[in-house]
């Protein structure tokens, strides 16, 4: 996943109390950080620095924007568009740190500030986008854009600003603008509530187990860690199993006790919808209704229609078609996989029907029977440092010529965070990369990338980017051994990091990952290909104790099983994507009152209501779409994967892992950020449009 930096454009906002207080120089956000590449001075930043920096940042930007809007001189590209791109530096500095740390390392002060800020920032952004004088200047320039002799990136920037303003409501009447502001402010607050509930609910839903026996199947180390986690919560003698973001939970793969599996999955599925303080049902209904009302105000039939217009997919028909076409073959695959699982259960005289809590456990047995290996055989070969340095980094060196050097002199916000200098092929510094790999109770689930500093030639900035994962931290002195999925996530997130680090654009609006949401997962997915590329795998997949390479037979089996369990994977993903679309394709007067009832009817209608495969996220903990930037956009992973699979084919056709291929991909795609139409960019890279066949082939959806 990629986490959009708060895209803040400021406005005139009355800031209570602080209106005259400029930021004291002692506030670390008052000036650009003097650390390399403006790396944030994490050691100097205190909780109480954020609020004043935000208030002053909004105020400064409001003043900058007022100056642009009220300029007596006729509008020019420089005095209007470029001036806006330069505005808001302070706000950008504070929001790039706060925005990320409130996901990666939150605390009560952060949460309180987030609740306070969300509506203010939304009002702030509205006041700019709805500033009539400013819009008039943009419109004047836009109408004569062909005569301005702008270079292609500048012309696109002008068009982009015009579109952004129109989509933000610049053409509305004054009364409707007021309505819009109210919607935006309420929605900002509700999204904050939603994500805070998800984190608190995940912590509150951790499974408490009384005896070691109930955890049979888990390693002794994992059970000890569960005991320590319980003790830390004052439940000495018991065991605590944390809940991860997705519906599926990693321990389900190994737990032999069916009741424990059932309890763990039930706890995961019930999140946000069983009453209590962190129930998200009412929040979801309010968000869905307000989004639909806002879309109607802006002239769209639904929130999805509004969102998709600005994506490469363009409209709901295109998305519904893709999801609809894939659903049946995916569920058919899942049913076949379930039959294989049932055969194992029956052979063991289990005496029960395969259910959702059994899938991961028994699918591993099917894997063992069919390919003669199980997930646990892989883990000793996937030690974190090996995968990172000799896999992820090594691949980037082979493909793009970039190199890495860890440094310990820069401050971090948490002792586990690691920092690397990244050098280009010519030896010059390209970027700084941060890796924050371990799970914590104050870190939201899942994995994501963000930029602390975005690249821009206009501002003279180079990228400082970070990857965040949620790998369970082993006991002190123990190695961090990754599952197959965790290793893949490491490659995936680094693909986003490359997109940020290779950015070579003039304007911040187009830096790195600022591309359509259904395109942004494409470069990250492409980077996953190197995980199992033989030359790379040989280089990193070494036994953590003996250093022995992964045996060739095991490696071959890993490759051969690549399509294994794809029916499950595709179905759970499609179910979540369909939920996202259905919630957001509703007009306001059709928003239901029963969240779970609506959810089941949607899944049934779409033919993806196959009980052993629940959606990857259920509505009430689906942060991507109710709190993150993926509303009506979760389908984008699959949309991007079409490009990804077609690109993997291109690499393979052209000799695979070679610098010339990496350089072409970097130059044509990874360096361009949002400076071009995404599909045009793809065409120039590939020489044609993407075909769907490589995706169908990969997902095992052909001839189904």
Contacts with Zn ion by CB under 5 A lie at 1, 521, 524
Cβ nearer to Zn ion, comparing 92 with 521: 521
Provide the minimum distance between the beta carbon of 286 and Zn ion in the complex, in angstroms, as a whole number.
28
Q: Say how many C-beta atoms besides its own lie within 10 A of residue 368's C-beta.
A: 15
- Size of the chain, expressed as the number of residues it contains: 704
Cβ nearer to Zn ion, comparing 196 with 489: 489
Provide the minimum distance between the beta carbon of 663 and Zn ion in the complex, in angstroms, as a whole number.
23
Provide the minimum distance between the beta carbon of 366 and Zn ion in the complex, in angstroms, as a whole number.
28
CA–CA gap between residue 489 and residue 375 (Å, rounded): 16
Identified catalytic residue from 486, 493, 572, 599: 493
CA–CA gap between residue 422 and residue 448 (Å, rounded): 19
Cβ nearer to Zn ion, comparing 153 with 521: 521
CA–CA gap between residue 586 and residue 581 (Å, rounded): 9
Cβ atoms of residues 115 and 189 within 8 Å: yes
CA–CA gap between residue 663 and residue 668 (Å, rounded): 8
CA–CA gap between residue 501 and residue 235 (Å, rounded): 45
CA–CA gap between residue 70 and residue 133 (Å, rounded): 7
55 carries an active-site annotation? no
Cβ nearer to Zn ion, comparing 1 with 696: 1
Provide the minimum distance between the beta carbon of 37 and Zn ion in the complex, in angstroms, as a whole number.
23
CA–CA gap between residue 40 and residue 411 (Å, rounded): 8
Cβ nearer to Zn ion, comparing 610 with 665: 665
**β-sheet with 403-407: strand ranges across:** 403-407, 418-423, 429-438, 464-471, 448-453
The secondary structure element, H or E, covering residue 370 is helix 359-371
Provide the minimum distance between the beta carbon of 1 and Zn ion in the complex, in angstroms, as a whole number.
4
CA–CA gap between residue 644 and residue 648 (Å, rounded): 6
Cβ nearer to Zn ion, comparing 521 with 644: 521
Cβ nearer to Zn ion, comparing 126 with 436: 436
Provide the minimum distance between the beta carbon of 480 and Zn ion in the complex, in angstroms, as a whole number.
21
Sign of the CA dihedral running 679, 685, 691, 693: negative
Provide the minimum distance between the beta carbon of 692 and Zn ion in the complex, in angstroms, as a whole number.
21
CA–CA gap between residue 18 and residue 502 (Å, rounded): 39
For the chain, report the end-to-end CA distance as a whole number of angstroms.
29
Cβ atoms of residues 360 and 623 within 8 Å: no
The secondary structure element, H or E, covering residue 94 is helix 89-104
Provide the minimum distance between the beta carbon of 508 and Zn ion in the complex, in angstroms, as a whole number.
21
Sign of the CA dihedral running 620, 623, 627, 630: negative
Q: What angle do CA 516, 521, 522 make, to 5 degrees?
A: 95
Cβ nearer to Zn ion, comparing 153 with 644: 644
User: Residue 289 corresponds to which tokens in the numbers above?
Assistant: 């209704």
Cβ atoms of residues 23 and 53 within 8 Å: yes
Question: Minimal CA–CA distance to 85: which of 198, 7, 21?
Answer: 7
Rounded (to 5) percent helix, strand, coil in the chain = 60, 5, 35
What positions carry a catalytic annotation? 493
């Amino acid at each position: 996943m990629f986490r959009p930096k708060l895209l803040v454009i400021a406005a005139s906002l009355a800031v209570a109390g602080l209106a005259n207080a400029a930021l004291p120089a002692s506030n670390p956000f008052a000036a650009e950080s003097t650390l390399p590449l403006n790396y944030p001075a994490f050691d100097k930043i205190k909780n109480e620095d954020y609020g004043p920096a935000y208030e002053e940042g909004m105020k400064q930007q409001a003043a900058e924007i007022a100056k642009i809007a009220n300029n007596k001189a006729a509008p020019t590209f420089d005095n209007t568009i470029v001036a806006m791109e330069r505005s808001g530096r302070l706000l950008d500095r504070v929001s790039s740190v706060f925005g990320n740390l409130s996901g990666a390392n939150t605390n009560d002060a952060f949460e309180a500030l987030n609740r306070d800020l969300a509506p203010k920032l939304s009002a702030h952004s509205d006041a700019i986008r709805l500033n009539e004088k400013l819009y008039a200047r943009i419109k004047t320039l836009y109408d004569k854009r062909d005569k301005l002799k702008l270079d292609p990136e500048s012309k696109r920037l002008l068009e982009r600003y015009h579109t952004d303003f129109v989509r933000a409501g610049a053409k509305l009447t004054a009364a409707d603008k007021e309505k819009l502001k109210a919607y935006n402010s309420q929605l900002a607050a509700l999204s904050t509530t939603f994500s805070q509930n998800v984190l608190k609910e995940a912590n509150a839903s951790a499974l408490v187990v009384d005896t070691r026996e109930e955890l049979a199947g888990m390693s002794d180390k994992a059970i000890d860690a569960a005991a320590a986690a319980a003790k830390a919560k004052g439940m000495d003698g018991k065991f605590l199993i944390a809940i991860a973001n997705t519906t599926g939970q990693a321990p389900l793969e190994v737990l032999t006790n069916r009741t424990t599996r059932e309890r763990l999955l039930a706890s995961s599925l019930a999140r946000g919808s069983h009453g209590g303080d962190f129930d998200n049902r009412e929040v979801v209904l309010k968000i869905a209704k307000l989004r639909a009302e806002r879309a109607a105000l802006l002239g769209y039939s639904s929130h999805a229609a509004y969102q998709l217009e600005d994506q490469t997919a363009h409209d709901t028909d295109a998305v519904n078609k893709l999801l609809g076409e894939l659903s049946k073959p995916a569920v058919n695959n899942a049913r076949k996989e379930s039959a294989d699982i049932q055969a194992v259960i029956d052979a063991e005289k289990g005496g029960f029907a395969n259910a959702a809590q059994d899938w991961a456990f028994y699918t591993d047995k099917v894997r063992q029977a069919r390919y003669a290996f199980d997930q646990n055989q892989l883990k000793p070969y996937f030690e974190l440092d090996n995968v990172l340095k000799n896999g992820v980094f090594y691949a980037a060196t082979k493909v793009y010529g970039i190199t890495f050097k860890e440094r310990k002199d820069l401050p971090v916000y948490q002792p586990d965070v690691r920092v690397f200098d990244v050098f280009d092929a010519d030896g010059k510094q390209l970027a700084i990369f941060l890796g924050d790999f371990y799970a914590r109770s104050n870190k939201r689930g899942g994995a994501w990338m963000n930029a602390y500093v975005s690249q821009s030639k206009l501002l003279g900035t180079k990228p400082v980017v970070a990857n965040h994962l949620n790998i369970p931290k082993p006991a002190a002195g123990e190695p961090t051994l990754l599952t197959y999925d965790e290793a893949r996530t490491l490659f995936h997130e680094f693909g986003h990091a490359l997109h940020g680090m290779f950015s070579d654009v003039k304007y911040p609006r187009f830096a790195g990952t600022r591309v359509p949401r259904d395109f942004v997962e494409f470069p990250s997915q492409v980077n996953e290909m190197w995980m199992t590329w033989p030359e790379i795998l040989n280089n990193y997949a070494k036994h953590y104790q003996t250093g022995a390479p992964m045996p060739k037979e095991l490696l071959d089996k890993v490759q051969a099983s690549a399509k294994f369990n794809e029916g499950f994977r595709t179905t759970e993903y499609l179910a979540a994507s369909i939920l996202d679309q259905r919630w957001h394709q509703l007009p306001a007067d059709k928003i239901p009152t029963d969240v779970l009832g609506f959810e089941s009817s949607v899944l049934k209608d779409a033919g993806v209501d196959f009980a052993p495969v629940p959606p990857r996220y259920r509505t009430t903990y689906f942060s991507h779409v109710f709190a993150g930037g993926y509303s009506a956009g979760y389908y984008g992973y699959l949309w991007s994967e079409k490009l990804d699979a077609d690109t993997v084919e291109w690499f393979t056709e052209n000799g695979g892992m070679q610098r010339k291929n990496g350089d072409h991909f970097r130059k044509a795609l990874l360096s361009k950020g949002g400076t071009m139409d995404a599909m045009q960019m793809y065409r120039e890279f590939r020489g044609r449009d993407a075909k769907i066949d490589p995706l169908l082939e990969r997902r095992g959806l052909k001839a189904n």
